[in-house]
């Protein structure tokens, strides 16, 4: 059963009347160069090395040769 335009308007107004809450966003840097935790340095370096295609190709070539 389709809704009537008046019931759609009432539904829309009731949605606007609902209370909304939010919390503030707090930025925390991850990179130690920009004020992040110095304990993240090794993890960031290993992730960057793992994503570097040239380093992976060289490592594969070294293991094969």
Residue 48 to residue 44: CA distance in whole angstroms = 6
Residue 63 lies in a domain: yes
Residue 53 lies in a domain: yes
Nearest to 7 by CA among 46, 31, 15: 15
The tens digit of pLDDT for each residue in 16-60 reads 666 778 889 888 888 888 888 888 888 888 888 888 888 778 888
Residue 64 lies in a domain: yes
Residue 7 lies in a domain: no
* pLDDT for 6: 74
Residue 20 lies in a domain: no
When divided into structural domains, the chain yields a total of 1
* pLDDT for 58: 82
Tokens matching residue 60: 């594969």
Residue 50 lies in a domain: yes
Residue 34 lies in a domain: no
Q: Are 40 and 31 in contact (CB under 8 A)?
A: yes
Q: Which domain holds residue 49?
A: 39-65
Residue 54 lies in a domain: yes
């Amino acid at each position: 059963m389709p809704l009537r335009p008046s019931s759609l308007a009432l539904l829309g107004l009731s949605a606007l009347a609902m209370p909304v809450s939010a919390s503030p966003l707090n930025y925390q840097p991850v990179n130690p160069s920009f004020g992040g935790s110095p304990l993240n340095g090794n993890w960031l370096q290993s992730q960057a090395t793992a994503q570097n295609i040239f380093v992976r190709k060289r490592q594969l070539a070294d293991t094969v040769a």
